[in-house]
Amino acid sequence: MAAVTDIKPPLSERPSPLGWARKYLFNSLGNSLLTIFSIWLIYTVGIGLLRWVFTQAEWQVIATNLRLILLGQYPIAQVWRIWLSLLLLAFLIGNSLAIWGKAGKTAKRFGAGLVAFPLLLALTAIGAESRGWLVGLSAMLILGWYLGRPATRTLRRVVAVGWFIWPPIFLILLRGTTPAEGVLPIVGTNLWGGLLLTFLLTVVGIVFSFPLGVFLALGRRSELRIVRWFSIGYIELIRGVPLISILFMAQLMLPLFLPAGITIDRVIRAMVGITLFSAAYLAENVRGGLQAIPKGQFEAAHAMGLNGLQTMSLIVLPQALRLVIPILVGQFIALFKDTALVAIVGLLDIVGIAKTVLAQPDFLGLQREVYAFVSLLYWVFSYAMSYVAQRLEISLGVGQR
Amino acid sequence: MAQSSSQAASIPIWRDERYLKLIAQIVFAVVVVLTANYLYQNMVNGLRQQGTTLGFTFLGGIAGFDISETLNDFSRTSAYWQAFLAGLYNTLLVSIVGIVLSTILGIILGVARLSINPLVRWLSAAYLEIMRNLSLLVFLIFWYLGVFLKLPRVREAVEWPGQVYLTNRGIVMPWGLPTETMPMYRTILIIGLCLALALGLVLFLRGRQTGKPPLTLLWSTLALILVAVIGWFVVPAAPLSLDLPVIQGLNITGGKTFTPEFMALVSGLVLYTAAFIGEVVRSGIQAVSRGQVEAARAIGLNPFQTLRLVVFPQALQVIIPPLTSQYLNLTKNSSLAIAVGYPDLFYVSNTIMNQSGRAVEMISLVMLTYLTFSLITSVFMNWYNARILLVER
């Protein structure tokens, strides 16, 4: 439904471009100066940027090290495992778009973009093999879409469960099961790196901090005083210190906390640190959702004879979590950007890999190119995810109930 | 009464909610304490095997490392705690400068979002979209390695108007050197400050009495400036002498040099945080309903009075809480100084940690320091919120 203000005025009253410019850009001296300043700013920045990107920058360093930046030192022979998990992911996305996008216009447009993206990449990809996998990604998206079309209740459940089991499957595929020879030889975490590690840290951080955060949020609103104090203490402690200090703590102090003889590797330590950090922020977001549930819901649940646990798990939490889904996507994005900090404690995520690339004698002094590319990667993924979050907010109807 | 107590007595103890809650709390507390104790014992045992014990006496030991820029007089032979203080001062410096600059830029960006000029509006929105999807760490590294260290060498320094030189060894600009009349001038300034505060108080009280709020801040500031200007000419010689930077061969002498590390950190933090502050300011201004403005105009306030007496106080109520959390974010984010090599609290503590091998103590100390910042801020926030609520009735 279009609001009254959305309706355009009749043709005769629409301003001409010149009239529009006079009305909004040059209606007073101050505004004219602002307009000229803006045009000057756009022109200088734009021209400078274009000139640098197309004539001065040496992008060879990216092309040469692309695999390193994306996957770290993951063995080439085992890369199919990553592709396979991506295929599963594409299938799930296709399914979900068909089911929850209600086959609407936005879902279709978004899905088309998603299908086109790997195909576009396939045009520029270097190896024939990765080209095949990229086409496969598009195919899986389309397949998922068509299989998800019926959108029956059972199908919804299956897909929802699929989302939950995808992360463990991904982890198992990534790490492997059999020692040296065999179908899935183990790939040590020291070989995980690049964008892969960045994503992995983010996914693990969100997945594991979710239950912890929900418990902390419930704890903070609990009637039990000690539980409440503990939750408040934990949340405020974590939120009061910078992430980097928690990562250092995880790297240096976590091994000390464990009994002698047990060691955990550096990637796991970072994951623990990120999870502990993210849980506190997630708890605050979930608490916001819990506070938005009207008291009547609790009272109605009690009146129907549900006990405290049932009220929480069947009535309150489902509503509260539904409310906070868009905020959780926002937190996912924030975490995605924050994982860059693991480079400071020496892990080889995108930023860590960028450092090693710049240490190669062939590519000394190309900091601008490498870090601009890394920034671009962060930017594109964050932007895409926040776009999805906005769409999600609209399609879930949050704030319209 | 009698009935309820007899009812309570009839409920067996294992179904009485009061007891269940008490037991649940005790169980929880015991589990937490036992877990914490287990971890602590592991740590103490581990440290004993490494041949160390916990304690903060090592802070008195000699540091033995240099810090590139300090606000206190720190040298290699100073103690660890002095190094820690140097880091703390640097963090405070970066935070305060960052907060002031990002607030100014943020207000400009926020107001630009509401301009009637579509070009300005679009520029501000584009800036926000670019900034908030970047990773701050990557941005800082790019800013430091890709911009500040790529500035030309001293010999080919870029000169900006006002004798500001941009080189890869820092930004050099004219600076004032205190002369022997500086102490006298400082006393005059303090007197001026007291005068301005007194004037402000008088105006404020009069405003309360008469119901006509005067321009307290404006008059106080004017009074201070007046005293400062008169004082400058009253003292026998100028309290500050102008120190101009001069390029001499491969060096720049004179003036004030801001290191690339400091500049990259502060400007990076400011550019990043300002985008978010702009958003806070915009939403604050938009939160004041149109009716308020229309009503203010209807009772005869002019646009300036409307802004000052109606829109601004209400917008401020909405702006202050998220603004404080942005300030806190900036302070916490300043710990990323370690990525650009600026010796802030975290960076120096890391050095102390490597030098003395006291990881547990130093990490605890750093966390405690940052926690203190945020606790002070939240105490202020609670006080402020309480005050706002009173005003609102």
Give the whole-angstrom CA distance, residue B38 versus residue B42.
6
pLDDT of residue A103: 56
pLDDT of residue B2: 46
Residue A280 lies in a domain: yes
Of A142, A16, A73, the C-alpha closest to A349 is A73
pLDDT of residue B280: 94
Q: Please judge whether A249 and B136 are an interchain contact, meaning their C-beta atoms are less than 8 angstroms apart.
A: no
**Does residue A297 share a domain with residue A154?**
no
The tally of domains found in chain A comes to 2
Contact residues, chain A, for B333 at CB < 8 Å? 242
**Does residue A254 share a domain with residue A163?**
no
Contact residues, chain B, for A227 at CB < 8 Å? 24-25, 28
pTM, two decimal places: 0.87
**Does residue A277 share a domain with residue A131?**
no
Task: Give the percent of chain A with pLDDT over 90.
Answer: 33
pLDDT of residue A9: 67
Please say if the pLDDT value at position A16 is more than 80.
Answer: no
**Does residue A245 share a domain with residue A384?**
yes
Interface test mutation site (partner A, options B141, B347, B354, B376, max chain A beta carbons within 10 A)? B141
Q: Please judge whether B141 and A351 are an interchain contact, meaning their C-beta atoms are less than 8 angstroms apart.
A: yes
Residue A368 lies in a domain: no
Mean pLDDT of all residues belonging to chain B: 87
Chain B within 8 Å of A376 (Cβ-Cβ)? Answer: no
Residue A105 lies in a domain: yes
The minimal CB distance from A379 to the residues B133, B146, B363 is found for B133
pLDDT digits (tens, 9 = 90+) for A213-255: 999 999 998 888 899 999 999 999 999 999 999 999 999 888 8
Q: How confident is the model at residue A125 (pLDDT cuts 50, 70, 90)?
A: low
**Does residue A135 share a domain with residue A119?**
yes
**Does residue A285 share a domain with residue A182?**
no
**End residue of a domain, out of A187, A210, A235:** A187
Which span out of A12-16, A23-27, A47-51 was modeled with the highest average pLDDT? A47-51
Q: How confident is the model at residue B12 (pLDDT cuts 50, 70, 90)?
A: confident
Chain A within 8 Å of B366 (Cβ-Cβ)? Answer: yes
Contact residues, chain B, for A253 at CB < 8 Å? 43, 359-360, 363
**Does residue A203 share a domain with residue A343?**
yes
**Does residue A214 share a domain with residue A143?**
no
**Does residue A392 share a domain with residue A321?**
yes
Of B97, B99, B88, the C-alpha closest to B330 is B99
Give the whole-angstrom CA distance, residue B38 versus residue B175.
57
The minimal CB distance from B142 to the residues A244, A245, A371 is found for A371
Cβ(A173)–Cβ(A51) under 8 Å? no
Contact residues, chain A, for B346 at CB < 8 Å? 242, 244-245
pLDDT digits (tens, 9 = 90+) for A374-399: 999 999 999 988 887 777 777 666 54
Task: Give the percent of chain B with pLDDT over 70.
Answer: 96
**Domain hosting residue A295, numbered range:** 192-350+377-401
**End residue of a domain, out of A162, A187, A212:** A187
Please say if the pLDDT value at position B264 is more than 90.
Answer: yes
Residue of A nearest to B375 (CA): A240
CA–CA min distance B64, chain A (Å): 23
Please say if the pLDDT value at position A330 is more than 90.
Answer: no
Residue A388 lies in a domain: yes
Chain B within 8 Å of A253 (Cβ-Cβ)? Answer: yes
**Does residue A177 share a domain with residue A231?**
no
Q: How confident is the model at residue B389 (pLDDT cuts 50, 70, 90)?
A: low
pLDDT of residue A1: 42
pLDDT of residue B256: 86
Residue A14 lies in a domain: no
The minimal CB distance from B39 to the residues A245, A252, A257 is found for A257
Q: Please judge whether A256 and B123 are an interchain contact, meaning their C-beta atoms are less than 8 angstroms apart.
A: no
Cβ(A89)–Cβ(A166) under 8 Å? yes
pLDDT digits (tens, 9 = 90+) for B116-167: 888 999 999 999 999 999 999 999 999 999 999 998 888 888 888 888 889 8
Please say if the pLDDT value at position A117 is more than 50.
Answer: yes
pLDDT greater at residue B85 or residue A174: B85
pLDDT of residue A2: 45
Q: Please judge whether A241 and B123 are an interchain contact, meaning their C-beta atoms are less than 8 angstroms apart.
A: no
**Does residue A150 share a domain with residue A198?**
no
Cβ(A279)–Cβ(A219) under 8 Å? no
pLDDT of residue A150: 78
ipTM of the complex: 0.86
Burial grade of A169 (CB within 10 A; 0-12, 13-18, 19 or more): middle
Cβ(B374)–Cβ(A242) under 8 Å? no
Q: How confident is the model at residue B277 (pLDDT cuts 50, 70, 90)?
A: very high
Contact residues, chain A, for B132 at CB < 8 Å? 382
Mean pLDDT check: name the lowest of A229-238, A326-335, B249-258: B249-258
Chain B within 8 Å of A199 (Cβ-Cβ)? Answer: no
CA atoms within 13 A on the CB side of A230: 19
pLDDT of residue A397: 61
Residue A7 lies in a domain: no
Query: What phi and psi values does residue B245 have, to the nearest 5 degrees?
Result: -75, 140
**End residue of a domain, out of A187, A216, A238:** A187
Residue of A nearest to B141 (CA): A371
Q: How many C-beta atoms lie closer than 10 Å to residue A229's C-beta?
A: 15
Please say if the pLDDT value at position A274 is more than 90.
Answer: yes
Mean pLDDT of all residues belonging to chain A: 85
User: Which H, E and C letters describe chain B, residue by residue?
Assistant: CHHHHHHHHHCCHHHCHHHHHHHHHHHHHHHHHHHHHHHHHHHHHHHHHHCCCCCCHHHHCECCCCCCCCCCCCCCCCEHHHHHHHHHHHHHHHHHHHHHHHHHHHHHHHHHHCCCCHHHHHHHHHHHHHHHCCCHHHHHHHHHHHHHCCCCCHHHCEEECCCEEEECCEEEECEEEECCCHHHHHHHHHHHHHHHHHHHHHHHHHHHHHCCCCCHHHHHHHHHHHHHHHHHHHCCCCCEEEECCEEECCEEECCEEECHHHHHHHHHHHHHHHHHHHHHHHHHHHHCCHHHHHHHHHCCCCHHHHHHHHHHHHHHHHHHHHHHHHHHHHHHHHHHHHHHCCCCHHHHHHHHHHHHCCHHHHHHHHHHHHHHHHHHHHHHHHHHHHHHHHHHC
pLDDT digits (tens, 9 = 90+) for B297-330: 999 988 888 888 888 888 888 888 889 989 999 9
**What part of B 75-134 touches A (C-beta under 8 Å)?**
115-120, 123, 129-130, 132-134
Q: What is the CATH number of the domain that holds A230?
A: 1.10.3720.10
Please say if the pLDDT value at position B393 is more than 70.
Answer: no
pLDDT of residue A11: 67
Of A139, A161, A158, the C-alpha closest to A94 is A139
Residue A16 lies in a domain: no
**Does residue A201 share a domain with residue A173?**
no
pLDDT digits (tens, 9 = 90+) for B57-84: 888 888 888 888 888 888 888 899 999 9
pLDDT greater at residue A270 or residue A151: A270
Residue A51 lies in a domain: no
Please say if the pLDDT value at position B391 is more than 60.
Answer: no
